Structures are given as structure tokens and as C-alpha cells.
């Protein structure tokens, strides 16, 4: 017996008993007893408890209908209209023959690309007719050149006669020249004196203007000094503001660094925790789900560290921005101080210029009086010289009569030369026209584009004006739509439009897309039959995604409303023949608290207890207060809920508010509304709704006035209730409650 109950055996038994007590107190009798037990942190749920919690949270309150709602709030809204439009080329060129001939070469067909100036067709030369015309015009030009030479000989003879007649008047001109020379000298003296007088007077005026300008510059310099002193004071205030901003941002950097340190400490904790969990998982002491939850906590901590680092970088960037603003303000202050110093220097210079202008004005007035006396003396000398000049003019007139007769002969010879030159020009024009007509046998295009129609075939005899090809310019196209008169009044050049169509044909991949453009023209006339007007938008056509004649959908934005109350079209119904919407109105109600089993929802009780089937604790299904209150929960343990802020009893984290309201219920009410324009998805509400109203968008088809409803996400709505109104008829009628 002593061999079995020695000190070592008794010590081992004591250690095992102590370990039993520790595990019993740690995990409790329910988890400790059994064949398999696992380590869990305080507050950790089992899989069964988690599923039960999720089932209870997802289930709407009993007796209410789940619906998908939307809060009415102002938002931008575009009032638009949609029409079917047609694509037209930007420009079309009809290539025509300009002369008669047989078409011998034209290898282009519809779809071929053509460049400007490219030869697209060739004609024959009509059996040599165009070459004969060119030769005839060449001979006529040579004959006209001979006629011109003869006329120039006559002109030379007439000019010789004129030179002889001019020799006869040389003596008369010599007499006149001597008299005119004297008159010119006296006139020059007078003009010089008058010029000096004008210059003196102009100098006086200029001196007065310089004085006024100097005085104005002095005033402007003084004004600039005052303005720069005010600007310098403003810059100093900006520097003070920049210093305050820099201090604030430095404090934000310190706070961000503290938050980063806290997040890094939490990450270090979870990094050690995940290593311990991996070791326990390898020893099969914990399940894979528990290991994954540990990993999720580690990833969450890592994300918080990254967010804190981003916040630190953002705060540091704000510090740099504040320092840059401070440096900019300091540079501005130095600049303004330099400008102020320069402005004060300009004030001194302007004062000196004013004194100089006054002295120069007095000097110019004295010079003006002296020059006026010289003008009077020059006038008397000029009158005596003009009397002698009149006598010389009479002699000159008699000599001019002989010269005029010789000049008449020259005029006749010049007219003969002009006639010969006109004949030469006429023949040269005929030669040029013959060459141009012969060049018309090669037909070229005037624009870049694509062949859209081939009108004749090679071998055809064409005449001048016969069209042979139609070429369309497609790098830009015209999108045209006929718009009704009531919409036409709200559309103008520059109105935004959205063009929707199917791009690509043939071997190109087809795809439906949109192109945003603007209205480029509104035709100033309407069709009296259809009561429509043509609206056009010119858009780029890269890769030929638009083809002439193609049908497109044109959406024209007539006007924009910045703050409009709108609802989805799926929320609109009819009540007694008038448009209406269903709204969810919040209210509060008192109900009894009911308890149920998470695993057996059919088990219900009015008080707490155990499930008679599995023994699990019953949980409350409803918590009702007399007024709606905000509920708080733990981010790590969603099963922990409280009516006030505090700490989680399991992990110690701060409780956060949830979107759920305790004891809050909503009832359905129908409201008549006045509708405005629609864009196909949403409709403008003119009257009947207010900002903040909760409109029921989906699930209202089975509602009646006063029914309890619960707002759920659109994906959580049952399929039978999520069917849009379009499948059940938009005009869903309600005749009563």
C-alpha cells in the first residue's frame, strides 16, 4: 500500500484535483462534462447560439408586413424628353462631270474612302476636240502678239513728236523757274517762320501737358503708397492666421500618432493571439471556425492600423500645406514691403518732375513771342515775289498750247496699244480655258469622305452636269430628331443631349452605349402637318460608329432642378383614379414580451424559462417600451444589447448604437400626390410629400390603410412582394381602406 500511496502519487492526485477545480470554474458543468471539451474565451458563442441569434435578428416583428422603403430628400433632377432620331452625314458632295465625254475609268464603289483632291474618274478627250481647241487658241495668241508690236511702234513715233514739242517750252519754263525759285525762297522763309511759331506754341502746350501729367503721376504714386500699406497689413494678418492653422494641424498630427500607437498595440496583441490559436488548432484543442474568427479579429486590427497610418499621413500633409501657406504669406509680405519702398521713391521722383515742368513752361512762352515777329516779316517778302511770278506764268501758257497738240497724238497711239493688248489677253484667256477644259477629263473630289452611292458605270457617255458619285463626310455626323412644338420652346443651342444606339455593323462587334453631346442648331421652322420642329446635334464619328440613316434614341434635357422631391416610378399607384403613394409612418406601441426557443421557434412562453424539448434558455422575441429608444450593442458580441451606452460585459469594448429602434412600429398610409415630369426612372412630386417622408417603393401591392409594416433591405423582401408594379400593372387601384 505504501508503494502506491507514496509522496509522488499523492502529489500527482492533488495536482489533477486542482486542475479539475480550475477547469470546472472556468467552463462550467455544461461544457466541462462530456467526452470532448474545448477552450473558449469569455462571451464566445457556440455555433447553435450564433445561428439562433441570426435567425431571431433577421425575422421581422410578428404581425407586420416587410416592405422596401426610401426616405424622401431633395436631389438634382433633370427634366428630359426622349425622341427617335436619325443619323445624317455632316456634308455630302455630288461628284459631277464638267465636260462631255465617255467615262473610261472609275474603280470606286460604295464604302471606299476618298481623300480631298483624289482622282476618282477619267473621261476621254472627245476624239481630239479639246486638243484642237487648245491649238486654235495658241495661234490666236501669236497673232495678237504681232498686233501689239505694231501698236507699240506707233506709240514710239508719237512720243518722238512730243519730245520735239517739249523742247519748245523749255525757254518758257526757264523763265518761270527763276520766278518760282524766288517765290519758293520767300515761301520757305514764311513757312519756316510759321513752323517755328507753331513749334513754339506746341512746346507751350506740351509743357502744360507735362506739368499736368507730372501732377497726376504724383497723386497716383501717393495713392499706391496708401494702398500698399493697407495690403501689407492684410498680409501680416494672413501670416498670423497661417501660424494658428499650423499649430492646430501639429496637434492633429500628435493625436493621430497616439491613435496609431493604440492601433499598433491592439495589432500586436492579436498577432500573439493568432499564434496561440494556431497552436491550439494544430493540437485540435479548438475548431477551424474559432481559428478563422481569431484570424478575422487580427485582420480587423491590421485594418485599423492602416486607417490610423492614413490619418497620420493626412495630418502631416495638412501640416505641410499650412507651412506652405505661411511661407507664401511671408513671401508676399516681403514683396509688398519692396513695392512700398519703390512707391515712396516714385513719389519723390514725381515731385521733382513737377518743378521741372513749371520751369520749362515759362521758357516756352518766351520763345513763342519771338517767333511770331519773324512770321510778319516773311509775309511781306512773299507778296513781292509772287507779283514777279505771274508775269513768267503768262509766257509759259503760250508754250503749253504747242505741247498739248503733241500730247493728243500720243493718246491716239496709246489707245492703239491698249487695243492690241486687249486682243492678246483675249487670246491668252481662250488658251487658258482650253487647257482647263482639257483638264476636266480628270474628275477630282473637293472633300474627304466615303463613297455612299455609285451613279453611273464606266463606258457611259456623260454630259456636263451628269452626277457620277455621291460622297459623304462622316468624320462628324448630324443627329437629327423631330421634336414636338411644346418641347421645342424649351430647347435651345447648347442644351445637353444623350444619344443612345447600337454601335458597330457587319464584322464589327455590336454594343449599346451612350454619347453625350449638345444641341448645335434648332431649325427656325416647324412642319404644319406633324407639328414638329427639327433639332440637330453635330457629334464626332470616330471609327464610323454612326452610319447615315441609322436610327438612334435622343434624350434631350429641357431643364435641371437642383433640389427636387422625387420618388421611384415603382412607388406610384392609383387611389380612386388619382395618383398616390404609400408611406410608412413611425409610431410607438406597447406589446407583451414573448419568449421562444432558438432551436424550436414553435415553443413560445410569456415568461423566461427552459425549452421543454432541448433544455436551452428561452430568449425574448420582442422588447417593447412605451417610447422608441436607440439600442446599443457590442461590435464583437452582437448578442449583447442595452438601452444605454456602456461597456461590453464580455470583452470590455464600448457599445455602439444600432439602426434598430426598440418598441418602434410603422403603419402604412396612402397619400394623394400631384405628379410632375418623369425621366423614365423617377417622377417629380409637386405636392403631397415632404422632405423626410418614408415612401414604400416595393411590397405595397397587398397593403391596406393602417397595416403594420417593417422596413427591410430590397434583397430581404420576399419574391412575391418584390415583384415590381410593371408586372402587376402600374395603375394598381385602391378604392378604399
| Same domain (yes/no): 489, 529 | yes
pLDDT (0 to 100) of residue 672? 92
**CA separation for the pair 495, 489 (Å, rounded):** 12
Do the domain assignments include residue 163? no
Q: 564, 597, 621: which is the final residue of a domain?
A: 564
| Same domain (yes/no): 719, 686 | yes
Lowest mean pLDDT among 339-348, 569-578, 704-713, 728-737: 728-737
pLDDT (0 to 100) of residue 385? 75
pLDDT (0 to 100) of residue 42? 43
Cut 0.85: pTM above it: no
Do the domain assignments include residue 418? no
Does position 513 have pLDDT exceeding 80, yes or no? no
Domain residues for the domain of 454 are 79-124+448-564
Burial state string for 662-701 with b = 16 or more CB within 10 A and e = fewer than 16:
bbbbbbbbbbebebbbebeebbbbeebbeeebbbbbbbbe
Could you read off the pLDDT of 293-336 as tens digits, one per residue?
888 888 888 888 888 888 888 888 887 887 887 788 778 878 87
How far is the CA of 465 from the CAs of 99, 101, 106, 121, 275, in angstroms? 8, 11, 17, 14, 93
Confidence of residue 685 (pLDDT cuts 50, 70, 90): very high
Give the CATH number, domain containing residue 93: 2.40.30.170
Does position 61 have pLDDT exceeding 90, yes or no? no
Shortest CA distance to 467 belongs to which of 451, 479, 478?
451
Helix (H/G/I), strand (E/B), else coil: 310: helix
Could you read off the pLDDT of 576-607 as tens digits, one per residue?
889 999 999 886 544 456 677 888 766 767 77
How many domains does the chain fold into?
4
**CA separation for the pair 18, 15 (Å, rounded):** 5
Average pLDDT over residues 444-460: 88
Beta carbons of 695 and 69 less than 8 angstroms apart? yes
pLDDT (0 to 100) of residue 674? 92
pLDDT (0 to 100) of residue 676? 87
For the record, the C-alpha cell of 403 comes out as 505741247
| Same domain (yes/no): 69, 91 | no
Lowest mean pLDDT among 102-116, 325-339, 596-610, 723-737: 723-737
Q: 539, 564, 589: which is the final residue of a domain?
A: 564
pLDDT (0 to 100) of residue 665? 67
pLDDT (0 to 100) of residue 654? 86
Does position 36 have pLDDT exceeding 50, yes or no? no
* Beta strands 467-484; 449-454: pairing state: antiparallel
DSSP per-residue letters across 425-470: HHHHHHHHHHHHHHHTTEEE-SS-EEEEEE---TT-EE-TT-EEEE
**CA separation for the pair 667, 18 (Å, rounded):** 60
* Beta strands 733-734; 101-105: pairing state: unpaired
Residue that wins the pLDDT comparison between 52 and 167: 167
Average pLDDT over residues 145-163: 77
Helix (H/G/I), strand (E/B), else coil: 342: helix
pLDDT (0 to 100) of residue 663? 44
**CA separation for the pair 283, 121 (Å, rounded):** 91
Lowest mean pLDDT among 32-46, 177-191, 376-390: 32-46
Confidence of residue 384 (pLDDT cuts 50, 70, 90): confident
The share of the chain scoring above pLDDT 90, in percent, equals 9
Do the domain assignments include residue 419? no
Residue that wins the pLDDT comparison between 246 and 496: 496
| Same domain (yes/no): 233, 282 | yes
**CA separation for the pair 631, 655 (Å, rounded):** 9
| Same domain (yes/no): 540, 576 | no
User: To which H or E segment does residue 534 belong?
Assistant: strand 532-540
| Same domain (yes/no): 485, 581 | no
Lowest mean pLDDT among 31-40, 102-111, 372-381: 31-40
- The 3-state secondary structure of 347-409 reads HHHHHHHHHHHHHHHHHHHHHHHHHHHHHHHHHHHHHHHHHHHHHHHHHHHHHHHHHHHHHHH
Confidence of residue 718 (pLDDT cuts 50, 70, 90): low
Helix (H/G/I), strand (E/B), else coil: 593: coil
| Same domain (yes/no): 630, 700 | yes
| Same domain (yes/no): 284, 387 | yes
Confidence of residue 131 (pLDDT cuts 50, 70, 90): low
**Which residue matches cell numbers 494678418?**
237
| Same domain (yes/no): 20, 85 | no
Beta carbons of 583 and 118 less than 8 angstroms apart? no
Confidence of residue 59 (pLDDT cuts 50, 70, 90): very low
| Same domain (yes/no): 606, 555 | no
Does position 3 have pLDDT exceeding 80, yes or no? no
Give the max Cα distance, the chain. 180
pLDDT (0 to 100) of residue 58? 41
Beta carbons of 119 and 442 less than 8 angstroms apart? yes
pLDDT (0 to 100) of residue 186? 76
Do the domain assignments include residue 131? no
DSSP per-residue letters across 236-275: HHHHHHHHHHHHHHHHHHHHHHHHHHHHHHHHHHHHHHHH
Does position 680 have pLDDT exceeding 90, yes or no? no
How far is the CA of 512 from the CAs of 86, 453, 553, in angstroms? 16, 28, 11
Confidence of residue 658 (pLDDT cuts 50, 70, 90): low
**CA separation for the pair 357, 586 (Å, rounded):** 88
pLDDT (0 to 100) of residue 732? 47
| Same domain (yes/no): 191, 251 | yes
Average pLDDT over residues 399-425: 78
Q: 564, 588, 603: which is the final residue of a domain?
A: 564
Lowest mean pLDDT among 124-138, 209-223, 476-490, 723-737: 723-737
Do the domain assignments include residue 51? no
Beta carbons of 578 and 670 less than 8 angstroms apart? no
Do the domain assignments include residue 414? no
Do the domain assignments include residue 443? no
Confidence of residue 736 (pLDDT cuts 50, 70, 90): very low
Give backbone dihedrals phi and psi of 319, rounded to 5 degrees, phi first.
-65, -45
Q: What's the chain's average pLDDT?
A: 78
| Same domain (yes/no): 352, 293 | yes
Beta carbons of 538 and 473 less than 8 angstroms apart? no
**CA separation for the pair 296, 290 (Å, rounded):** 10
**CA separation for the pair 360, 398 (Å, rounded):** 57
Do the domain assignments include residue 11? yes
Beta carbons of 65 and 699 less than 8 angstroms apart? yes
What percent of the chain is helix, strand and coil (3-state, nearest 5)? 50, 25, 25
Amino acid at each position: 500500500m505504501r508503494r502506491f500511496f507514496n509522496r509522488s502519487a499523492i502529489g500527482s492526485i492533488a495536482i489533477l484535483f486542482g486542475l479539475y477545480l480550475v477547469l470546472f470554474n472556468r467552463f462550467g458543468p455544461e461544457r466541462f462534462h462530456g467526452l470532448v471539451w474545448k477552450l473558449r474565451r469569455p462571451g464566445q458563442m457556440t455555433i447553435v447560439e450564433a445561428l439562433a441569434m441570426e435567425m431571431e435578428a433577421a425575422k421581422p416583428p410578428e404581425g407586420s408586413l416587410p416592405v422596401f422603403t426610401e426616405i424622401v430628400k431633395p436631389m438634382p433632377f433633370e427634366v428630359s424628353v426622349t425622341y427617335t432620331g436619325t443619323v445624317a452625314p455632316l456634308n455630302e458632295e455630288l461628284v459631277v462631270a464638267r465636260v462631255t465625254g465617255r467615262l473610261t475609268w472609275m474603280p470606286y464603289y460604295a464604302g471606299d474612302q476618298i481623300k480631298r483632291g483624289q482622282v476618282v474618274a477619267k473621261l476621254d478627250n472627245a476624239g481630239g476636240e479639246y486638243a484642237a481647241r487648245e491649238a486654235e487658241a495658241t495661234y490666236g495668241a501669236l497673232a495678237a502678239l504681232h498686233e501689239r508690236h505694231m501698236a507699240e511702234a506707233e506709240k514710239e513715233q508719237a512720243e518722238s513728236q512730243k519730245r520735239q514739242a517739249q523742247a519748245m517750252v523749255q525757254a518758257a519754263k526757264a523763265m518761270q523757274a527763276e520766278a518760282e525759285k524766288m517765290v519758293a525762297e520767300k515761301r520757305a522763309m514764311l513757312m519756316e517762320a510759321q513752323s517755328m511759331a507753331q513749334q513754339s506754341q506746341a512746346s507751350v502746350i506740351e509743357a502744360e501737358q507735362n506739368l499736368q501729367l507730372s501732377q497726376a503721376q504724383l497723386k497716383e504714386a501717393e495713392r499706391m503708397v496708401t494702398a500698399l500699406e493697407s495690403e501689407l497689413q492684410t498680409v501680416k494678418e494672413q501670416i498670423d492666421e497661417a501660424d494658428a492653422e499650423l499649430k492646430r494641424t501639429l496637434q492633429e498630427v500628435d493625436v493621430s500618432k497616439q491613435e496609431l500607437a493604440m492601433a499598433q498595440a491592439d495589432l500586436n496583441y492579436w498577432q500573439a493571439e493568432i499564434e496561440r490559436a494556431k497552436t491550439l488548432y494544430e493540437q485540435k484543442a479548438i475548431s477551424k471556425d474559432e481559428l478563422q474568427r481569431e484570424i478575422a479579429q487580427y485582420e480587423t486590427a491590421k485594418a485599423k492600423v492602416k486607417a490610423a497610418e492614413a490619418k497620420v499621413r493626412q495630418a502631416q500633409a495638412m501640416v505641410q500645406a499650412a507651412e506652405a501657406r505661411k511661407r507664401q504669406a511671408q513671401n508676399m509680405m516681403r514683396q509688398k514691403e519692396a513695392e512700398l519702398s519703390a512707391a515712396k521713391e516714385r513719389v519723390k521722383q514725381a515731385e521733382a518732375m513737377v518743378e521741372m515742368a513749371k520751369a520749362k513752361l515759362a521758357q516756352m512762352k518766351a520763345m513763342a513771342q519771338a517767333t511770331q515777329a519773324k512770321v510778319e516779316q516773311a509775309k511781306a517778302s512773299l507778296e513781292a515775289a509772287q507779283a514777279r511770278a505771274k508775269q513768267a506764268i503768262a509766257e509759259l501758257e503760250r508754250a503749253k498750247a504747242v505741247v498739248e497738240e503733241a500730247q493728243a497724238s500720243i493718246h491716239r497711239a496709246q489707245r492703239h496699244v491698249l487695243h492690241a493688248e486687249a486682243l492678246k489677253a483675249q487670246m491668252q484667256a481662250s488658251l487658258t480655258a482650253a487647257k482647263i477644259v482639257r483638264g476636266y477629263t480628270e474628275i477630282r473630289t473637293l472633300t474627304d469622305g466615303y463613297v455612299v452611292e455609285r451613279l453611273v458605270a464606266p463606258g457611259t457617255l456623260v454630259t456636263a452636269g451628269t452626277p457620277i458619285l455621291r460622297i459623304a463626310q462622316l468624320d462628324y455626323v448630324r443627329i437629327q430628331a423631330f421634336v414636338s412644338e411644346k418641347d421645342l420652346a424649351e430647347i435651345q443651342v447648347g442644351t445637353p443631349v444623350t444619344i443612345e444606339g447600337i454601335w458597330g455593323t457587319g464584322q464589327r462587334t455590336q454594343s449599346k452605349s451612350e454619347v453625350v453631346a449638345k444641341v448645335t442648331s434648332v431649325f427656325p421652322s416647324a412642319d404644319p402637318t406633324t407639328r414638329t420642329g427639327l433639332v440637330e446635334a453635330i457629334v464626332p464619328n470616330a471609327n464610323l460608329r454612326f452610319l447615315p440613316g441609322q436610327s438612334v434614341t435622343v434624350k434631350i434635357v429641357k431643364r435641371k432642378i437642383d433640389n427636387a422631391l422625387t420618388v421611384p416610378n415603382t412607388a406610384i399607384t392609383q387611389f380612386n383614379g388619382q395618383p398616390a403613394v404609400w408611406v410608412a409612418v413611425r409610431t410607438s406601441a406597447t406589446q407583451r414580451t414573448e419568449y421562444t426557443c432558438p432551436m424550436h421557434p414553435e415553443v413560445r412562453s410569456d415568461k423566461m424559462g427552459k425549452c421543454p424539448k432541448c433544455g436551452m434558455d428561452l430568449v425574448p422575441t420582442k422588447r417593447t417600451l412605451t417610447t422608441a429608444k436607440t439600442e446599443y450593442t457590442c461590435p464583437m458580441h452582437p448578442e449583447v444589447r442595452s438601452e444605454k451606452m456602456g461597456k461590453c460585459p464580455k470583452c470590455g469594448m464600448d457599445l455602439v448604437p444600432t439602426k434598430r429602434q426598440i418598441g418602434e412600429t410603422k403603419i402604412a398610409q396612402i397619400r394623394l400626390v400631384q405628379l410632375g415630369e418623369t425621366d423614365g426612372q423617377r417622377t417629380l412630386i409637386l405636392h403631397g410629400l415632404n422632405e423626410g417622408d418614408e415612401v414604400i417603393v416595393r411590397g405595397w401591392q397587398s397593403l391596406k390603410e393602417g397595416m403594420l409594416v417593417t422596413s427591410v433591405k430590397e434583397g430581404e423582401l420576399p419574391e412575391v412582394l418584390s415583384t415590381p408594379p410593371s408586372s402587376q400593372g402600374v395603375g394598381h387601384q385602391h378604392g378604399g381602406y
